[in-house]
Amino acid sequence: MNVRGIAFILLALAGFWVGLQGGEYRPFGAGFALLGLFFAATFLGRAGRIAVALRPVVGRTVRVQVWGAPLPGSGELLFDASAIIALGAGLLLHLQPESGEAGAILKVAQPGAENLGDERIEIGTAAYVQWAGRKVERPPGSIAPALALLLP
């Protein structure tokens, strides 16, 4: 049972109730209802469940492959996974290169078909993947997973 997800559903219901009561607080009710639904979807959705399952990876060194290839512009660098969170239907990984360069965000939109092994973690499908704000195109005909994290 996901207590945070249920709490946000209750917040959304309270927001709907305030919005239906009318008066000067109606806009606040609508705002709380929307925020409650957004965060409930975050915590109760697939991305939220994957983010929770990936908590042991935070603080560890990983090799990252997107669509079967290293991250663009990174070569075969190793990264420290400093944070993994879900936001809406997206999975966000903050990756810091071991070389000390500036880190960036890897976004996996609508992750699915996850395979969580001890040494290899795969996200099989995704609507798209972004690295440092730029979309990583899937190679034509590729059957590689959207994201693979290899734990050396």
pLDDT in tens, 111-131: 999 988 888 999 999 999 999
DSSP 71: P
Spans in the chain with pLDDT lower than 70: 1, 75-76
Q: What is the pLDDT of residue 1?
A: 55
Number of residues written out for the chain = 152
Q: Report the C-alpha gap between 7 and 1 in whole angstroms.
A: 11
Q: What is the pLDDT of residue 144?
A: 92
Q: Report the C-alpha gap between 49 and 54 in whole angstroms.
A: 9
Q: What is the pLDDT of residue 92?
A: 96
Q: Report the C-alpha gap between 129 and 110 in whole angstroms.
A: 9
Q: What is the pLDDT of residue 99?
A: 74
Q: Report the C-alpha gap between 126 and 144 in whole angstroms.
A: 11
Q: What is the pLDDT of residue 108?
A: 96
Q: What is the pLDDT of residue 21?
A: 86
The full 3-state SS of 88-145, as one line of letters, equals CCEEEEEEEECCCCCCEEEEEECCEEEEECCCEEEEEECCEEEECCEEECCCCCCCCC
Q: How many C-beta atoms lie closer than 10 Å to residue 33's C-beta? A: 20
Q: Report the C-alpha gap between 152 and 146 in whole angstroms.
A: 19
Q: What is the pLDDT of residue 152?
A: 81
Q: What is the pLDDT of residue 145?
A: 95
Q: What is the pLDDT of residue 139?
A: 87
